[in-house]
Amino acid sequence: MKRTDVCIVGAGPSGSIAALFLAKYGINCILTDKAKFPRDKICGDGISGWVVTILNELDKDLLIRLSKQSFLLPSHGIRLVAPNHKSLDLPFLDNNQADLDIPPGFIGKRLDFDNFLIDEVKTKKEIDLLEATEIIGYTKEKDGIRLQTSDETEIFCRIVIFSNGANSKFMQDPGGIYKSKTHIMTGIKSYYTGVTGFHEQNYVELHFLKDILPGYFWIFPLPNGLANVGIGLDQERIRKKKLNLKAIMLEAIETLPYLKERFKDAELVSKIQAHSLPLWDGKRFISGDRYMLTGDAASLIDPITGEGIGHAAISGMYAAEQCKRSLESNDFSAKFMRNYDKQVYKRIGKELKISSKIVHFIKHPWLFNLIMTKANSSKILKEKLTLAMTDLEVRKELNGPWLYLKILMGR
């Protein structure tokens, strides 16, 4: 049996970042993953400003090394395309690392980004990385948690962090998080070469097609002429409308004139893969006696943008901080662990709550089209939408009817 203070189940971004923060605090941990790295992960491949910010807090030199990796493209904004095909380019403004000449965001394959973090994990003597080791069960004991592995090894720890993604069985037990199909998005991802028409500063693109609102079709540029192309919508609407997302994606590429032109010399170079994303659907407990949930296992994905890696990084950092507090005070009770919940929700809770409300407005094609048309002709509205990506007070205006009433009245 292996013994440790902290065991982290899942070595994706939230798990790896939690482990790296623990190492920074001088706390020993075991980090497990059922796969062996490098391993691929279905994802949109966007690495947001949240990730940049958290890595800067972890280790500025690590962030600088990341920024120089050839598998990344710097990204400086987002392009929104309405159902009427009108587009709006909005720059990212929250560059907190201007002194380091670091862009506000990146785009890079999850296979490469996750492996970059794992390579850093392997340099830390405080972290015992167990690859190809799946945690299949747990048992609560008086002074800790006993974890069972697929190879019949047991791990005994004082705290466990469940960071093993969207399909984590620990989300339900012990987490108590049960998702309805309304709040689980199915995403279809593929890689193309030869796609043209990208913004010169590598803006990520969200195309809101009429038939899948409030879902969207995305195109993210990648290094070496590659592009991540996909489509996503909640499972309840897919079921009710009997939609085939793969067919919708391919039909849009082949028939919509503005997309057909951009894909005329493009080639599909990967399998088209599907995955599930548990969208945030309300504030809930994400910790309990001796455990915490992070990232997708905590259902922290933004219901509009699909932002997941940034929120995973945030939760990983705060989980490590809570481990430090609990170990120092020898308090692992659910009540004390709630400090973790408070920190996570203080940082991203308002953002998630506002996004969940905005969904109700963007599902109307006529309203979406009107806003985009107005934003292209109104400098003030365009600035408001740009600020809304980083300023929660501005974003609040987007989740209520008054802004849209003003737009309808031409103000």
**Separation between Cα atoms, residue 75 and residue 81, nearest integer Å:** 17
264: pLDDT strictly greater than 60: yes
**If you average pLDDT over residues 163-177, what whole number do you get?**
93
Q: Is the pLDDT of residue 409 over 50?
A: no
Q: What per-residue confidence (pLDDT) applies to 99? A: 63
Confidence of residue 407 (pLDDT cuts 50, 70, 90): very low
> Scanning the structure block, which residue is given the tokens 């909640």?
234
pLDDT band at 286 (very low <50, low <70, confident <90, very high): very high
Please report which confidence band the pLDDT of residue 98 belongs to, taking 50, 70 and 90 as the band edges: low
pLDDT confidence of 151, banded at 50, 70, 90?
confident
Confidence at residue 376, expressed as pLDDT on a 0 to 100 scale? 77
Which residue has better confidence, 39 or 338?
A: 338
Burial class (CB in 10 A: 0-12, 13-18, 19+), 360: exposed
Across the range 273-298, mean pLDDT stands at 94
Q: What is the mean pLDDT of residues 182-196?
A: 95
Helix residue ranges, H only, 256-308: 257-262
Q: What pLDDT sits at residue 66?
A: 95
Query: CA separation (Å) from 406 to 43, 267, 373, 391, 410?
Result: 37, 44, 14, 20, 6
Asked if pLDDT for residue 393 goes beyond 60, the answer is no
The answer, yes or no, to whether residue 212 has pLDDT greater than 80, is: yes
Residue 216: pLDDT band with limits 50, 70, 90: very high
pLDDT confidence of residue 408: 44
pLDDT mean over 176-182:
91
Predicted pLDDT at 139: 95
Q: Tell me the pairing of strands 154-162 and 2-9.
A: parallel
pTM of this prediction? 0.91
Q: What is the pLDDT of residue 405?
A: 46
User: Stretch 5-32: mean pLDDT, rounded?
Assistant: 98
Contact 203, 78 (CB under 8 A): yes
Question: Would you say residue 125 has pLDDT above 90?
Answer: yes
Reported as a pLDDT band with limits 50, 70 and 90, residue 321 is very high
Compute the average pLDDT of residues 249-259. 96
Instruction: Give me the domains of the chain, ranges plus CATH numbers.
Output: 2-75+103-179+280-353 (3.50.50.60), 182-278 (3.30.9.100), 357-408 (no CATH)
Cα dist from 102 to 61, 74, 182, 276, whole Å: 12, 8, 37, 31
Q: How confident is the model at residue 402 (pLDDT cuts 50, 70, 90)?
A: very low
Q: Considering the chain, what is the average pLDDT of its residues?
A: 89
Band (pLDDT 50/70/90 cuts) for residue 101 is: confident
User: H helices of 160-244, where?
Assistant: 235-241
Q: Is the pLDDT of residue 195 over 50?
A: yes
